[in-house]
Amino acid sequence: MTVPLGMFPLSTVLFPRAGLPLHVFEDRYRELMAHCMNGDGEFGVVLIARGSEVGGSDQRVGVGTVARIANVAELGDGRLLVVATGVRRVRVDRWLPDDPYPVALVADIPDDVSADDGTTLAGAEFAVRRLRSLLSELGDVPALPHNLRITGDEEDVGWQLCDMAPLTALDLQRLLATEGLMTRMQLLTELCDAMAEDVTRMLADGSSE
């Protein structure tokens, strides 16, 4: 079943369980936030595949995430600082006319959480940690602390690992759209390992380009 949902296209990917800070300054999105705060606090986030966040001339992907507002701070000039949290994935069935903000008919995507044998999630965590450690030598992202424990149920841990992965927006979108936790973790490992190989070659060549 599809339902209409106000949407906020962005140049970033939001995963379930992840936090989303927003600086809202366009009139249409201020109206979206007002509508959300008067309702259930939920709106959709989708990645802009091409184009700009400002002005509406963009091309959007078909799988996004429902975000729920956690906190709003109003600035004196009408701008808003919003903190939201990813809740669940949705598939966009059809875009409706902006009125005044983007609206789409969406359907929830149930996640198939297959039991892990103890190796798939561990392998994905190792790949994310290794990639971040390599990139930290280039000064791009900080390495994850050795004593950081990623806790929660298997689905929670999987989404946290996706959110921690320093991958391109399109690769992160692939992870968001992938069905099944274990399949997603296998893809996460492959993507991180492939980038880690590139970074290793760059470090061996003494290049940070």
pTM comes to 0.91
Same domain assignment for residues 124 and 103: no
- Non-local (6+) Cβ contacts of 116 within 8 A are 154, 181, 182, 185
Residue 73: helix, strand or coil by DSSP? strand
Give the pLDDT band (50/70/90) at residue 87.
very high
Cα 115 versus chain centre, distance: 23
Give, in order, the Cα–Cα distances in Å from 64 to each of 12, 15, 181, 193, 204. 11, 8, 16, 25, 38
**Residue 54 and residue 131 in one domain:** no
Structural domain range at position 178: 120-205
Query: Looking at 93-97, 110-114, 135-139, 169-173, which range is the least confident one?
Result: 110-114
Q: How far apart are CA 56 and CA 7, in angstroms?
A: 12
Number of structural domains in the chain: 2
Go through 127-161 and write b for each residue having 16 or more CB atoms within 10 A of its CB, e for each that does not: bbbbbbbbbeeeeeeeebeeeeeeeeebeebbbbb
70 and 90 co-located in one domain? yes
* Alpha carbon 17 to its chain's center: 9
Q: Are residues 148 and 55 in the same domain?
A: no
The string of pLDDT tens digits covering residues 24-70 is 999 999 999 999 999 999 999 999 987 655 555 678 999 999 999 99
Residue with the two structure tokens 């971040």? 132
Encode pLDDT of 130-145 as tens digits: 999 999 998 989 999 9
E strand intervals along 57-185:
58-60, 63-74, 80-96, 103-108
Please indicate, yes or no, whether residues 82 and 102 belong to a single structural domain of this protein.
yes
Task: Express each pLDDT in 143-156 by its tens digit.
Answer: 999 999 999 999 99
* CA Rg value for the chain: 18
Determine the pLDDT at residue 21: 97
Q: Of the residues 108, 134, 168, which one is the last residue of a structural domain?
A: 108
pLDDT at 169 over 60: yes
Task: Say whether both 52 and 9 belong to one domain.
Answer: yes
Query: Mapping DSSP to helix (H, G, I), strand (E, B) and coil, where does residue 70 land?
Result: strand
Asked if residue 114 belongs to a domain, the reply is no
Q: Is residue 149 part of a domain?
A: yes
